[in-house]
Chains A and B, each alone.
Chain A
Amino acid sequence: MNDINNNFFNNETCSMIENIKKKFPEDRKKSSIIESLLILQKNNNGYLTKDIITSLAKYLKVEEIDVYEVATFYSMFNTKPVGINTISVCTNVSCMLRNADNILNHIENKLGIKVGETTKDQKFFLKDEIECLAACNGAPMMQVNHKNYENLTIEKVDKILEEFE
């Protein structure tokens, strides 16, 4: 188990990953990548590093590129440092028809960042590539730290964001 960076793999993380591995057949090692990455990302302020990816690849005995593919494909993984709170504004059809673009513009202006960026004070990360988050009935909607906030208005958004200030 050389090359595995123990900062990321403490006993607790290891046992969690071991539990994930148990869910899949032995010759399907790659199946554990997604869930393991989620745990590791959570322990590392919400983003992944080269070191984490390499360590997980060694730990699961898969290739680094296998893990990297997963990490770059899914929007729930960040491969660059991000702010503490993640905001995802849905701009897909239903939300768009209910003026999601205005909401997004407002947030961008308020925080002084564009989609995909993090505020200088590291408090907010405005995520990009957000598609339908399955809450069309409450459109327009957004998630902050994976919690849904629906039927948004500009005032509502201001209030919600204040809670995280």
Chain B
Amino acid sequence: MEIFINNKSYTAEDGETIIQIADKFDIHIPRFCYHKHLSIVANCRMCLVDIEGFKFAQPACSTLVQDGMKISTQSAKTKNAQKSTMEFLLINHPLDCPICDQGGECELQDVSLEYGDDHSNYMQFKRVVVDRDVSPLISTDMTRCIHCSRCVRFGEEVAATKELGLLDRGENMKIDSFIEKNIDSELSGNMIDLCPVGALNNKPYRYSARTWDLSQKKGISPHDCIGSNIFYHIYNNKIVRAVPAENENINQTWLSDRDRFGYEGIYAEDRCKRPMIKKNEKLLTCDWDTAIKTLNQNLNTLKNEKKLDSLGCLISPQSTCEELYLFQKVFREFGANNIDHRTIEKDFDYQQDYPVMPTLGCDIKDLEAYDNVILVGVNIKKEFPILSVRMIQAQNKKTQFFSINFQSSNEDFNPAISLALRNDQLREFLDYLSNKTNKPNYIEEKMFHYIFKYIKSNKKNLIVIGPSIGQLPNQTEILYSLNQYSKKINADFGYLTEHCNNTASWLLGVLPHRLPLGKRVDKEGLNAYQMIEKKLSNYIFYNLEPECDFWNNDLVEDALKTSKMNVFFSSFMTPFIAKYADIVLPISTFAETHGSFINIEGSYQAYKQIIRPKKEIKLGWEVLNNLLFINGANNYTFDTLQNEIKNNIQDFDVTTNNNFKLSNQPLKYIQKDIFKFTLRNTYNTDQIVRRSKSLQQTRTGKLKNILLSNDLFSSHKKGYLEFIDKDKNIKSELYNSDQSLPHNTIAYQSYKIGDAFVGARTGTVKIKS
């Protein structure tokens, strides 16, 4: 149909609103309550426009276009309406812009300047709202609120966790949370962006800069494999805040709190600031030249003495593609084969049959095309908060979710079935789904009934395997059973991985058995677990926190104790590094280097350096390049390096990737004793997030207690918990029961219990009675 705005003709579709058309053609209409991803409420009245034939101006956000409609955004009637609305909105607004952080980027300020009047007729007292401290991430100044209700609708519609509501009415109306409740959700920061005024503001950023003094650089989230697009705001070469960069395919206009506040970890006190070398049992600072030369010498000695089998090279999949690629290249060039990134895994029997790289099996935006999505070993809300938004959208379009995890998942969407199973039960359960033999008796009949009724091979099904499965001592068995089941129900098969760049780590051959693009290695090296368990005499750790980034931190300490050379390329000086390192090379974090990540859909996303590192800290890829160069290879520039990687991967066809078959796995694993596992807590997942002060102050960040399943808890009568984990005796008073755990299960919420590390991430324990 044809409509006219300010006498110009535009084509519009049935069902579109005036504001949608105006936005499409860049005709500005002021608004407060309207947001393209939220429902329409038309309660602020700022978008009033003059429509021919209507006596009064109409709200553009809620008025549907009609053929031949003539709209004016300039006429006296529109202007009048805008002025009056603005005057009403300012009646109770404190006009405290000089002390408000929103100043300079405030929609109220902008609209008032452009459409408001220069004086007000209002002489009476203004309303004042008393603020409560509701979150370590969001500061509230509710007197500034104009009741647009965007924050409420965000909670209701996008996050499906309504934390703020509109209380009372009339002049007493205020936005608040439920009595004594805080804002705790993993997506809460989005309300800061949505709030058009300074009522909800970024607390850690508060009073640290004025918006017009900031510069903006684009980055990619380093905290999960979704790859959300982020704008970092920089003041004096320091990141002061992060906001979402719109990407309709990935994060839309949202950002998880982890992505928004995680960067704080860059500014942790324990950053490595200088290269260091151990001399006479003491770690002393040295210059870069000495550090690199010593490392190079040691490596060449190993090479000449043909002892490279005793070198373990481990890198974190949180590193950039460039670092990952160069890492395997450098150490392969020396002749090393023990190269791996899978430091949190234990069981590697699956690796020969594995696809070239793990992917989600579909694009993120296509999740809603599935009838059934079966989530195994993942709690989306806690581990991939930004995906929650997609899954809620999918659920609204009738996708059903089934969740099977070690703790029944508390999700923002509503899984049709949410099962909590131990790792031994998981295999039995999956096998029963495939073969219908040996029915597990711990699952209610009606659950099976439901599953068989809805998950059928003529439906569009997706199985998603979460990162917790990788930690299992019997992950191959589980993968095999899942693979079988996926064939049976004709499902797409996908993964969600531990870190932001696991996909690239596989694709670029940071593996003991494969080169880039999945090509076979002649002589297969040791996997990450073997490297640690076998106590090699030389280690290279890249971007890894030895205390928290491994399947078993006790074993890591044992290995570091006995080895002859421990080299750490690291951004942080952890206690283990301080104690056991022979060479420390301080390298950039994600923000201090150019880089790229491949997200779980297989999208390659590059970004430019966001801030410059401190003087003695070098860019990771440069250090690796340096090592190559002094051994006679060509010197890369960042661009030649990135191009080489891009050329390598551009022909790789993601779509064929996931069609694979795991070879049969006989059931080997038998569960005795109590099953224990480590939960992947949202704010504990990587070394940068672990150091984000604000995130650690949230409710989720503070979770430390050991969780006991109900049966264990009720049979446990002592005031403290004492149990044997392998040969370690663990005692703790901090524990509570958790009804979402399967029987006979203990879960750790942190890598530490008091000062002791938890040891293996998964396994068994015995409680002392």
B178 near A72 (CB under 8 angstroms)? no
For A64, the chain B residues whose CB sits under 8 A away are 178, 181
Give me 17 A-to-B residue pairs in the complex whose CB atoms sit less than 8 angstroms apart, sorted by A's number.
Answer: A2-B739, A53-B178, A63-B161, A64-B178, A65-B165, A65-B177, A65-B178, A65-B181, A68-B167, A69-B165, A69-B167, A72-B167, A72-B168, A72-B169, A73-B166, A73-B169, A129-B170
Binary flags per residue of A49-70, CB closer than 8 Å to B gives 1, else 0: 0100100000000011110110
In-complex Cβ contact of A66 among B165, B180, B181 (8 A): B165
Tell me the complex Cα distance, A59–B165, Å: 19
Q: How far is the CB of A116 from chain B (nearest CB, A)?
A: 12
Q: Is B179 an interface residue (CB 8 A)?
A: yes
Q: Is B360 an interface residue (CB 8 A)?
A: no
For A2, the chain B residues whose CB sits under 8 A away are 739
Residues from 1 to 20 in A contacting B, C-beta threshold 8 Å: 2
Closest B residue, CB atoms, query A67: B178
Q: How far is the CB of B708 from chain A (nearest CB, A)?
A: 17
Q: How far is the CB of A92 from chain B (nearest CB, A)?
A: 14
Residues from 634 to 687 in B contacting A, C-beta threshold 8 Å: none
A65 near B168 (CB under 8 angstroms)? no
Q: How far is the CB of A3 from chain B (nearest CB, A)?
A: 11
Residues from 179 to 233 in B contacting A, C-beta threshold 8 Å: 179-181
For A66, the chain B residues whose CB sits under 8 A away are 162, 165
Tell me the complex Cα distance, A50–B180, Å: 10
Tell me the complex Cα distance, A2–B710, Å: 14
A65 near B162 (CB under 8 angstroms)? yes
Closest A residue, CB atoms, query B174: A72
Residues from 264 to 301 in B contacting A, C-beta threshold 8 Å: none
Q: How far is the CB of B155 from chain A (nearest CB, A)?
A: 8
Closest B residue, CB atoms, query A61: B414
Tell me the complex Cα distance, A2–B738, Å: 13
Q: How far is the CB of A131 from chain B (nearest CB, A)?
A: 10
B interface residues (Cβ-Cβ under 8 A, vs A): 161-170, 177-181, 739
Closest B residue, CB atoms, query A50: B179
Q: How far is the CB of A65 from chain B (nearest CB, A)?
A: 4
Closest B residue, CB atoms, query A68: B178
B162 near A63 (CB under 8 angstroms)? yes
Q: How far is the CB of A94 from chain B (nearest CB, A)?
A: 21
A interface residues (Cβ-Cβ under 8 A, vs B): 2, 50, 53, 63-66, 68-69, 72-73, 129
For A69, the chain B residues whose CB sits under 8 A away are 165-167
For B162, the chain A residues whose CB sits under 8 A away are 63, 65-66
In-complex Cβ contact of B179 among A63, A68, A73, A129 (8 A): A68
Ordered nearest first, which 6 A-B pairs have the shortest CB separation? A65-B165, A64-B178, A69-B165, A72-B167, A63-B162, A65-B178
Tell me the complex Cα distance, A63–B169, Å: 19
For A63, the chain B residues whose CB sits under 8 A away are 161-162, 178
Q: Give the most central of A63, A65, A66: most B CB within 10 Å.
A: A65
For B169, the chain A residues whose CB sits under 8 A away are 72-73
For B167, the chain A residues whose CB sits under 8 A away are 68-69, 72-73
In-complex Cβ contact of A65 among B164, B170, B739 (8 A): B164
Q: Give the most central of B161, B167, B180: most A CB within 10 Å.
A: B167
Tell me the complex Cα distance, A73–B166, Å: 9
For A65, the chain B residues whose CB sits under 8 A away are 162-165, 177-178, 181
Tell me the complex Cα distance, A116–B684, Å: 50
Tell me the complex Cα distance, A76–B181, Å: 24
Q: How far is the CB of B185 from chain A (nearest CB, A)?
A: 11
For B739, the chain A residues whose CB sits under 8 A away are 2
Tell me the complex Cα distance, A2–B740, Å: 13
Q: How far is the CB of B418 from chain A (nearest CB, A)?
A: 14
Q: How far is the CB of A91 from chain B (nearest CB, A)?
A: 15
Tell me the complex Cα distance, A13–B161, Å: 28
Tell me the complex Cα distance, A63–B739, Å: 20
For B178, the chain A residues whose CB sits under 8 A away are 53, 63-65, 68
In addition to A64-B178, A72-B167, A73-B168, 13 A-B residue pairs with Cβ atoms within 8 Å of each other are: A63-B161, A64-B181, A65-B162, A65-B165, A65-B177, A66-B165, A68-B178, A69-B165, A72-B169, A73-B166, A73-B167, A73-B169, A129-B170
Tell me the complex Cα distance, A68–B152, Å: 13
Tell me the complex Cα distance, A72–B163, Å: 16
Closest A residue, CB atoms, query B166: A69
Tell me the complex Cα distance, A50–B179, Å: 7
Tell me the complex Cα distance, A157–B4, Å: 63
Closest A residue, CB atoms, query B177: A65
For B163, the chain A residues whose CB sits under 8 A away are 65
For B181, the chain A residues whose CB sits under 8 A away are 64-65
Tell me the complex Cα distance, A129–B739, Å: 45
Tell me the complex Cα distance, A2–B739, Å: 11
Q: How far is the CB of B740 from chain A (nearest CB, A)?
A: 12
Q: How far is the CB of A83 from chain B (nearest CB, A)?
A: 21
For B177, the chain A residues whose CB sits under 8 A away are 65
Tell me the complex Cα distance, A65–B184, Å: 14
Q: Give the most central of B161, B168, B179, B739: most A CB within 10 Å.
A: B179
Q: How far is the CB of A27 from chain B (nearest CB, A)?
A: 11
Tell me the complex Cα distance, A72–B177, Å: 12
Q: How far is the CB of A48 from chain B (nearest CB, A)?
A: 11
Tell me the complex Cα distance, A64–B164, Å: 10
Closest A residue, CB atoms, query B160: A63
Closest A residue, CB atoms, query B180: A50
Tell me the complex Cα distance, A141–B170, Å: 24
Tell me the complex Cα distance, A68–B162, Å: 12
Tell me the complex Cα distance, A2–B169, Å: 32
Q: How far is the CB of A82 from chain B (nearest CB, A)?
A: 17
Q: Give the most central of B164, B178, B180, B739: most A CB within 10 Å.
A: B178
For A53, the chain B residues whose CB sits under 8 A away are 178-179
Q: How far is the CB of B440 from chain A (nearest CB, A)?
A: 26
Closest A residue, CB atoms, query B169: A73
Q: How far is the CB of A115 from chain B (nearest CB, A)?
A: 14
Closest B residue, CB atoms, query A65: B165
Tell me the complex Cα distance, A129–B171, Å: 11
Q: How far is the CB of B159 from chain A (nearest CB, A)?
A: 11
Closest A residue, CB atoms, query B739: A2
Tell me the complex Cα distance, A73–B173, Å: 9
Q: How far is the CB of A68 from chain B (nearest CB, A)?
A: 5
Tell me the complex Cα distance, A69–B161, Å: 15
Closest A residue, CB atoms, query B179: A50
For B161, the chain A residues whose CB sits under 8 A away are 63
Tell me the complex Cα distance, A73–B180, Å: 19
Tell me the complex Cα distance, A50–B177, Å: 13
Q: How far is the CB of A74 from chain B (nearest CB, A)?
A: 8
For B165, the chain A residues whose CB sits under 8 A away are 65-66, 68-69
For B179, the chain A residues whose CB sits under 8 A away are 50, 53, 68
Q: Give the most central of A2, A50, A64: most B CB within 10 Å.
A: A64
Tell me the complex Cα distance, A129–B170, Å: 10
Q: How far is the CB of A75 from chain B (nearest CB, A)?
A: 9
Q: How far is the CB of B163 from chain A (nearest CB, A)?
A: 7
Tell me the complex Cα distance, A72–B176, Å: 12
Q: How far is the CB of B1 from chain A (nearest CB, A)?
A: 33
Closest A residue, CB atoms, query B165: A65
Closest A residue, CB atoms, query B162: A63
Tell me the complex Cα distance, A49–B167, Å: 15
Tell me the complex Cα distance, A35–B180, Å: 25
Tell me the complex Cα distance, A129–B173, Å: 14
Q: How far is the CB of A87 from chain B (nearest CB, A)?
A: 21
For A129, the chain B residues whose CB sits under 8 A away are 170
Q: How far is the CB of A135 from chain B (nearest CB, A)?
A: 22
Q: How far is the CB of A104 from chain B (nearest CB, A)?
A: 19
For A72, the chain B residues whose CB sits under 8 A away are 167-169
Closest B residue, CB atoms, query A57: B178
Tell me the complex Cα distance, A21–B298, Å: 75
Q: Give the most central of B162, B165, B168, B177: most A CB within 10 Å.
A: B165
Q: Give the most central of A2, A53, A68, A129: most B CB within 10 Å.
A: A68
Closest B residue, CB atoms, query A62: B162
Q: How far is the CB of B132 from chain A (nearest CB, A)?
A: 14
